[in-house]
Structure 1
Amino acid sequence: MRVKLLLTAGLGLLALIAAPAALAGNGGFAPVSPESPNAERIRDTWIFVSIFIVAIFVLVEVVLVTFIWRYRRRRRERFEDGPQVHGATSIELMWTVAPVVILFLIGGFVFYKLPGIADVPSASASGQDRLEVRVTGRQYYWQYEYPSGAVAIDRLRAPAGVPVRLAVTAPAEDVIHSWWIPALGGKIDAIPGTTTETWFQAERAGVYDGQCAELCGLEHAKMLASVEVLPAAEFNTWLAERESEGASSELGEEEWQGACAKCHGLSGEGGIAPLIAGSPVLTDPQALEEIVRNGRGEMPAVGSGWSEEQMDALIAYLRESPPSGS
């Protein structure tokens, strides 16, 4: 019995010692380093709640081990009860009042932080023009539409230091998705036929990765998302190029990789969907548009709602770079 107690206590102590190291290295326990004010407030809330969680865990485990050791059976008969205690009013008051106080503190802190997480800063408050982007989740890609009409697939580009307001949705015939870039804030659901909103404001240029956080089908794991934050001048250059006709092949490549290759394979070699390399459909613009816009059999209408420019971009890309099948 003594060996088991010592082993249990040792393992508990080891877990407590290892926890700070795991948290410091973000071994999956802690939020990633925040790069947006709302993500920073989410991390602050996580830390505040974690303080109580760790304190309660340590208290309970210490009391548990202490009681097991101090009130062990000793020489009593195996099935003989220990001394009974009645009427511990102070203890009963303590375990009633303490949780209420803890919940009050946590609730107050969360409601204090919540406006900074949910509310999009106004353009006047930030001193910058706010960028509005429509985000549409489809099986199994993300489409980003800018006010100018420019479109991007799976990777959102945004200027550094500017609030970006996202209107997130999904087509009525699709399923629920969830857009999530951990470094830029909490996840937000893309609900068919409904628009939800979130925002971020990244000061540091770089690429921030995320994914769909709602199981949405067989290729859910491939429904990745990323945000590339660029200096304002570079973003304006990219946006102007994307709006021009010269960017159609680049957009077409994004559409192929995002909307087609995740099921048919990057080279059209097949995956959960059939091999399509060499298919005459790929070289027939009318047939390709029909199947992309309306689907066929088990294939969803991945391009329903696409503009003519988007269809032209995919056709142009497949004409220039037909899938090889290998």
Structure 2
Amino acid sequence: MPAGVGRRAAVVALAVVAVLLVPAATAFAGNGGLLPPPAHSPNAHRIRDAYVFVMIFVGVVFVIVEGALLVLITRYRRGKRDRTQEGPQIHGSTRLEILWTVVPVVMLTAICGYIFYKLPGINDAPPAAAANQTTITVEGHQFYWLFRYPNGAVSIGTMIAPAGDVVHENITAPASEVNHSWWVPELGGKTDAIPGQTNHSWFQAPIGTYVARCAELCGIQHALMDATVKVVPRAEYEAFIAARAAAPGGLDVGKEEWQGVCSSCHRLNETYVGPALGGNPLLRDRDGIENLVRHGLRQMPAVGENWSPEQIDALIAYTKTLPKQKANGFQS
């Protein structure tokens, strides 16, 4: 083999290996790279299967196209040919044109067929007895998630759900809100929380703690709009919602409101997104706080426009436990 041809073959081989190593390195990065996080709900398993199936086709197409590109660049480069000399004139090839038409059609048909096969198991919750399912309303607000349970109990920032049961999610947002997107990667796909509209999703998960986030840009503190789904035994879930329903204005609710809602934009001792709240008499003024959270003020959205009176009471009860501070942040 001539030396020039050998060098060209080596260059092409190295280029192909480099192209193959890029997705391989990304795959080895695990959940920080190419693959989605481990699935812990039947619908999430099906989403992951569909993702991997499509990724295989995409990877094959990428390698073929990029490999062909490198070969053609090498084979038909100008080389020692004079700049004014035209390269080889390639005319149509019926066989090749049929091939690059039929193969993509076959691939797309296979992908569509597999996706439609998986889709019912993603969208439709499995049948379950009444004792083995529950419904939780998920509300998107700037910049927090609020959860409403069947008995009227609420929580902010952390959803408590029964392990092994089918959990139906009614996902929405108040009419004056912006769009959000509820996403727990380990438990299923993204579902939009659209103001005034209710969308539906579901999961069925083992005991564990799962990270949720807002997957749609919704404002200045969008990056902090995350939540936790804590899946616990059924008895623990029942005890939690019973205790919350019995004390809707309790300190636990108020603490979640302060930490999950107020602290998204405010600090006691320093200006954050909003002004410092240390020493502000509003913290102990029920009417003032209620008016503020229900109607907002200037750039502050109405973060609690649909809160119950008990939720307002809970926030006041908690703010009264905060240390009294002067406006400069020092305790008085």
Q: Give the TM-score taking structure 2 as reference length.
A: 0.90
Q: Are the counterparts in 1 of residues 19 and 63 from structure 2 also a CA contact under 8 Å?
A: no
Equivalence for 2:143: 140
Which residue of 48, 60, 68 corresponds with 1:63? 68
Please state how far the C-alpha of 1:19 moved relative to its aligned partner.
2.4
Q: Secondary structure, in 3 states, of the residue corresponding to 2:202?
A: strand
- The reply on whether 1:17 has 2:18 as its aligned counterpart is no
**Match for residue 215 of structure 2 among 213, 216, 224:** 213
Does 2:268 correspond to 1:263?
no
CA gap 1:5/1:221 in 2 versus in 1, 3 angstroms = farther
SS of aligned partner of 1:26: helix
Per-residue CA distance 1:133-190 (angstroms, 9 max, x = gap) = 1111010011100010110001111011011111111111110011111111111111
Displacement of 1:312: 1.2
CA displacement at 1:79 relative to structure 2: 3.7
Q: What is the distance in 2 between the residues matched to 1:268 and 1:160?
A: 41
Alignment-derived partner of residue 28 in structure 1 = 33
Residue 107 of structure 1, CA deviation: 0.6
Cα distance change of structure 1 residues 317 and 11 upon mapping to structure 2, 3 Å threshold: farther
Aligned partner letter, 1:27? G
Distance 1:278 1:4, change over 3 A: farther
Q: Which residue of 2 aligns with 1:192?
A: 195
Change (3 A) 1:104 1:264: same
CA distance in 2, matches of 1:207, 1:189: 22
The gaps in structure 1 that reach 5 residues or longer are none
- Report the Cα distance in structure 1 between the residues aligned to 2:8 and 2:79, rounded to whole angstroms: 15
SS in 2 for 1:207: strand
Shift of the alpha carbon at 1:284? 1.3
Does structure 2 retain, via aligned residues, the 8 Å contact 1:128–1:163? no
Give 1:170's aligned residue: 173
Counterpart CA distance in 1 for 2:179 and 2:47 is 23
Distance of aligned partners of 1:217 and 1:7 in 2 relative to their CA distance in 1, 3 Å threshold = farther
Q: Secondary structure at the match of 1:147?
A: coil
Q: Which whole-Å CA distance do the structure 2 matches of 1:4 and 1:314 have between them?
A: 72
Q: Distance in 1 between matches of 2:12 and 2:236?
A: 58
Give CA deviations for 1:250-290 in whole Å, capped at 9, x if unaligned.
1111011111110112x463311111111111111121112
**Structure 1 Cα separation of the partners of residues 324 and 50 of structure 2:** 48
Which string of whole-angstrom CA distances, capped at 9 and with x for unpartnered residues, describes residues 59-85 of structure 1? 112222222223333432224223223
Q: Which deviates more from structure 2 when the two are superposed, residues 79-88 or residues 100-109? A: 79-88
Q: Tell me the alpha carbon deviations over residues 2-53 of structure 1, each in whole angstroms, 9 at most, x when there is no partner.
A: 9899667635523422523431423332111011111111100000001110
Percent identical residues: 48
**Any gaps of 5 or more consecutive residues in structure 2?**
none
Take 1:99 and 1:5, find their aligned partners in 2: how far apart are those partners?
Answer: 28
For 2:9 and 2:263, locate their aligned partners in 1 and report how far apart those are by CA, in whole Å.
Answer: 56
Q: Distance in 1 between matches of 2:195 and 2:12?
A: 50
2:308 corresponds to:
307
- The DSSP-based 3-state class of the residue aligned with 2:145 is strand
Aligned residues: 322
Aligned counterpart, 2:232: 230
Report the counterpart of residue 106 of structure 1 in structure 2: 111
The one-letter code of the counterpart of 1:313 is A
State how far apart, in whole Å, the 1-side matches of 2:137 and 2:171 are.
Answer: 6
Name the Cα RMSD after superposition: 2.3
Structure 2 residue 95 is the aligned partner of structure 1 residue 94: no
Query: Could you say if the C-alpha distance between residues 96 and 18 of structure 1 is closer, same or farther in structure 2, counting changes exceeding 3 Å?
Result: closer
Aligned partner letter, 1:140: F
* CA displacement at 1:306 relative to structure 2: 0.6
2:243 paired residue number: 241
In structure 1, what is the equivalent of residue 275 of structure 2? Answer: 274
Contact 1:206 1:230 in 2 (8 A): yes
